[in-house]
Amino acid sequence: MRVLVTGGCGFIGSHLVRRLLEDGANVRVLDNLATGRLSNLGDLLAEVDLVEGDLRSYERVSNAVRGCEVVYHQAALPSVPRSVQDPLTSSSVNAAGTQNVLLAARDEGVRRVVAASSSSVYGFNPALPKREDMATLPMSPYAVDKLASEGYCRSFQRVYGLDTVVLRYFNVFGPYQDPNSQYSAVIPKFITAALEGTAPTVHGDGNQSRDFTFVADVVGANLLAAGAPPAAAGEVFNIACGNRTSLNEMLEMLGELTGGMIEPIYDEARVGDVPHSQADISKAREGLGFEPAYHFSDGLRVTLEHYQEIQPALSRP
């Protein structure tokens, strides 16, 4: 089976590509390498059909989609702060780019599109845990873009009969997540600081909490969504652990794993960030057969070991 992974050189996309290759799929990758890196695939590059191109080009997207049975749409311009700084580019990639993927999939007769969304669409809704039938109150341009992308997926399902399944990711983390970008997620930044013996910066008081989700569980959810029964088509599913951990708790756990006390620097909260996030994953359990295999502490340990391996000189004794 030939499949396309948009953003296949990125953090989540590269993990998905690895798993698909292990399962014997014929994998094509579409990536403009703006945030993705060829090194994320390493020696597997020889095993994939790499198409360099931008989501904003329908022609490029259409060429990549041609001949594929399933499209895993992972490509995006991520980060809430980036979208606050440059909402126009965020929208052109995340919302209009998704339209191009859906149009190409419709035109090329793709069986199903599995599209990545974000828990950020829940935004300012304070109710916990988050359920898919709750009101969405996005706070950042990025969250608005992701919600628009969900709407396009539902529209193409209903209007054109294109099978789509949307997965709302909750704070995904794991190996190969870039710690060097100013828009990086907190876990790779905190791990790098711990290995370097420097103080990580926490935006806010550290009591904000997240449903941190290990990347292997997200990959498994994508595979389940691609093979789910017809009833899953047109639906949105939370993909998470179903628990939440505060940043202060996470730093304490990281200190225990690295054998030292981590004293962060507390800074102002970032515009567009929500205080707490936790998923209700019962719909994914019932509709996809999804069950997270990694507790947060297990995923954090595996992720730390990865960074210790690639940065041995920075590891504490």
| Nearest of 137, 128, 132 to residue 167 by alpha carbon | 132
Q: Hunting for tokens 């993705």 — which residue is that? A: 36
| Residue 142 falls in the annotated catalytic set | yes
Q: Which helix (H) or strand (E) holds 117?
A: strand 112-118
Give the CA-trace dihedral at 127, 168, 173, 4, to 10 degrees: 180
First to last CA, the chain: 47
> Of 142, 152, 176, 307, which is the active-site residue?
142
Residue 280 amino acid letter: D
Which SS3 state, helix, strand or coil, does residue 267 take?
strand
Contacts of 305 (CB under 8 A, 6+ apart): none
Place of tokens 């806010």: 204
**Per-residue DSSP letter, 199:** P
Query: What amino acid positions are annotated as catalytic residues?
Result: 142
